[in-house]
């Protein structure tokens, strides 16, 4: 029997252990990194999507789409009915991987992101890369510290390369009116638009849209997997997504797709239509424009959430995509508005690729606050994420993923 005088100590110790377990539990997500403005904007976006799911009028694109989605997709599909072509590795017991793609993880990050990035890389290594040992390319607009390099290199299995972004890729082009850009930031900040007042966020979006794949450290690779600090990987990945893409003629892979906050991109669609009108010869008849338009041909704001991407670098380096990016860059919307790399990538993918070339990695459990992509059915047995939290289930009117699934193949 515990001595009476020690009972309060035992009770306190028990409570401390219980609180520690709750805080460290992977099932409970604390969004410490989100600012109040970001939270308010995300909530406003959800309410906006639920209240009014119509795109602005008079925004039809000039080219025919290959498919129009008119059917009710109903209950979300399961992984077994969607990812039929995924080839799972029979066993990962052997340490030797006989085939690898010419690929790398690419991470745009800063020295202050070290803690969040290490937590992400622990999961990515454990779920996947400890077997495949793909290299990492870390990019920063400021020099990486020795501490950052040492602590990252000590925890990953693949080779690490650390690159400094050229100043001309993270600065204002000469044709941008910086006074006008500053006024736009102030206006968007006053309207509490997510990241509306951030100058660095705009440089980041422009860089991810048109420059990361042109960094010299990326020249040697054909495939990339984008990773961001703080994201979570919830499932065992027992096959090679890079080889899956390569063997199945895929060019772009995603986990989450949602509707963009229209206040950040008021003229992006019109600018894109102007490009399509001037370059009809670049756009194949079998395209994916049905993903970004509704049945009337209006812009629906759907985009692939680009914080997770597995894609072809040859696609981004193509004459078509580069011409599109240059057209957007000259228009100035990265600075005069707040064009994100996600809608830019998605519009490029939708113009130049078809559905057979794009893949939803439903079987990769992935979290970027506040949204989950979580496998359903038997595939969830290898995961710790709750499948009812997956964005296409929890936020049906915000998500575009099942609309993508419903599109017919060309």
Tokens in use for 162?
């650390």
DSSP string, 320-385: HHHHHHHHHHHHTHHHHS---HHHHHHHHHHHH--GGGEEE-TTS-EEETTEEE---GGGGGGB-S
Which residue in the list 208, 309, 362, 387 is annotated as catalytic? 309
Is 159 an annotated catalytic residue? no
311 forms beta bridges with 224, 252
Distance CA 224, CA 311 (A): 6
354 forms beta bridges with none
Residue 46 CB contacts under 8 Å (≥ 6 apart), including other chains: 395, 398
Angle between helices 341-352 and 319-331 (to 10 degrees): 140
Q: Exposed e or buried b for every residue in 47-67, given b needs 16+ CB within 10 A?
A: ebbeeeeebeeebebebebbb
Distance CA 138, CA 102 (A): 17
Distance CA 339, CA 305 (A): 13
Would strands 103-108 and 223-226 be described as parallel, antiparallel, or unpaired? Answer: parallel
Element holding 266 (H helix, E strand) = none
Tokens in use for 31?
């969004």
* Burial class (CB within 10 angstroms; exposed 0-12, middle 13-18, buried 19+) of 214: middle
Residue keyed to tokens 């490009």: 275
Beta strands in 219-306 (DSSP E): 223-226, 232-233, 252-254, 257-259, 302-304
- From the CB of residue 327, how many other CB atoms can be counted at a distance below 10 Å? 16
Residues serving a catalytic function are 309
């Amino acid at each position: 029997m515990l001595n009476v005088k020690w009972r309060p100590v035992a009770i306190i110790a028990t409570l401390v252990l219980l609180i520690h377990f709750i805080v460290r539990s992977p099932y409970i997500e604390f969004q410490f990194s989100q600012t109040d403005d970001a939270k308010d904007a995300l909530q406003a976006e959800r309410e906006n999507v639920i209240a009014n799911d119509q795109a602005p009028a008079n925004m039809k694109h000039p080219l025919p789409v290959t498919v129009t989605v008119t059917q009710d997709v109903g209950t979300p599909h399961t992984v077994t009915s969607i990812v039929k072509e995924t080839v799972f590795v029979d066993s990962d017991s052997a340490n030797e991987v006989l085939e690898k793609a010419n690929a790398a993880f690419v991470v745009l990050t800063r020295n202050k992101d070290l803690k969040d990035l290490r937590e992400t890389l622990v999961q990515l290594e454990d779920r996947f890369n400890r077997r495949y040992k793909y290299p990492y390319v870390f990019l920063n607009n400021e020099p990486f510290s020795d501490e950052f390099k040492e602590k990252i290199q000590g925890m990953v299995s693949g080779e690490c390369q650390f690159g400094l972004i050229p100043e001309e890729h993270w600065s204002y082009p000469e044709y941008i009116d910086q006074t006008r850009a500053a006024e736009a930031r102030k206006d968007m900040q006053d309207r509490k638009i997510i990241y509306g007042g951030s100058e660095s966020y705009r440089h980041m979006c422009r860089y991810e849209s048109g420059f990361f794949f042109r960094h010299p450290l990326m020249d040697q690779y054909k495939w990339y997997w984008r990773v961001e600090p703080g994201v979570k990987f919830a499932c065992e990945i027992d096959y090679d997504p890079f080889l899956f893409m390569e063997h199945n003629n895929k060019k772009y892979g995603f986990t989450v797709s949602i509707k963009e906050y229209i206040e950040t991109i008021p003229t992006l669609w019109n600018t894109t239509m102007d490009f399509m009108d001037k370059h009809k010869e670049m756009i194949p008849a079998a395209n994916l424009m049905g993903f970004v338009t509704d049945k009337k041909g209006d812009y629906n704001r759907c985009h692939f959430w680009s914080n997770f991407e597995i894609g072809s670098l040859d696609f981004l380096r193509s004459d078509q995509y580069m011409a599109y990016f240059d057209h957007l860059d000259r228009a100035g919307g990265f600075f005069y508005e707040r064009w994100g790399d996600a809608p830019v990538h998605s519009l490029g993918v939708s113009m130049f690729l078809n559905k057979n070339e794009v893949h939803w990695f439903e079987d990769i459990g992935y979290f970027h606050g506040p949204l989950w992509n979580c496998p359903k059915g038997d595939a969830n047995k290898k995961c710790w994420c709750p499948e009812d939290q997956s964005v296409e289930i929890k936020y049906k009117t915000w998500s575009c993923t099942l609309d993508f699934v419903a599109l017919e193949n060309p």
